[in-house]
Amino acid sequence: MARKLPTKDVVIIGLGWTGSILGYEMAKAGLDVVAIERGPWRDSATDFPTTYAQDELRYDFQHELFVEPRQNTLTFRNRVDQPALPIRDWASFLPGNGVGGADLDFRDIEAFGASTAYLMSSGDGEKSRIYKTTDQGKSWTLQYTDKRAGFFLDSLACDSPTHCFALSDPVDGKFLILATTDGQHWNEPPRDKMPAALATEGAFAASGTSITLCGSNNPNTLFRVARFTCASASTFGR
């Protein structure tokens, strides 16, 4: 028997990136919004912890996170005079199947050869992360994240497989620089010589170009950060 639910102003089918933004804006405007999703509930802490490698067979080959054609079959034809046949394999088009789940917005990557790469995600707090692979992307190690208010990674730059810098939006009133000199451990150089950030100032994260290393790996290395022109590395306490 059909069950009649309370009337809503807006119903959103699929609460992904676009649906989430639309739902937030409409709810903020005073509308009563409900979202409908399909699939099992997924949670970052239990389904995708960073402390172990995920099951490659389960996710990469069997595509457990994605809709199966039997769940939602579409038809396809190349011309209007052809019969529309059901798609038996999604191929590279893989619609997700799940409610909740983890999402990271990857904005920058620095690669060295076929095996080694650093990958940076942007987002508030712990959604900003730095990962590293040394086995052609088969596994990724989480090397750094931060819970502090304002922490938001914008850009990553390296001049060798072990010497890299990352830029965050202001934390405690100043832009934050992270550095690694061994390719494993990231540290925050002293910021006593860093100029104070302007009110509401931040860097541009979309292109991954907010920080640039100029010169070789020596104390005279220069950086170009946000609004600052090329400044001496001593600005960041090196």
- Amino acid found at 236: F
Residue 80 falls inside a structural domain: no
Give me the pLDDT at residue 216, please: 47
Residue 172 falls inside a structural domain: yes
Confidence of residue 183 (pLDDT cuts 50, 70, 90): very high
Give me the pLDDT at residue 181, please: 92
Give me the pLDDT at residue 93, please: 65
User: For residue 19, is pLDDT > 60?
Assistant: yes
Give me the pLDDT at residue 25, please: 92
Residue 6 falls inside a structural domain: no
Residue 86 falls inside a structural domain: no
Domain that holds residue 236: 105-238
**pLDDT tens track for 128-147:** 999 998 988 777 888 999 99
Q: What's the total number of domains in the chain?
A: 1
Ramachandran region of residue 214, left (φ > 0), alpha (ψ -120 to 50) or beta?
A: beta
Residue 93 falls inside a structural domain: no
Residue 223 falls inside a structural domain: yes
Mean pLDDT of 199-209: 78
Residue 133 falls inside a structural domain: yes
Give me the pLDDT at residue 129, please: 92
Residue 125 falls inside a structural domain: yes
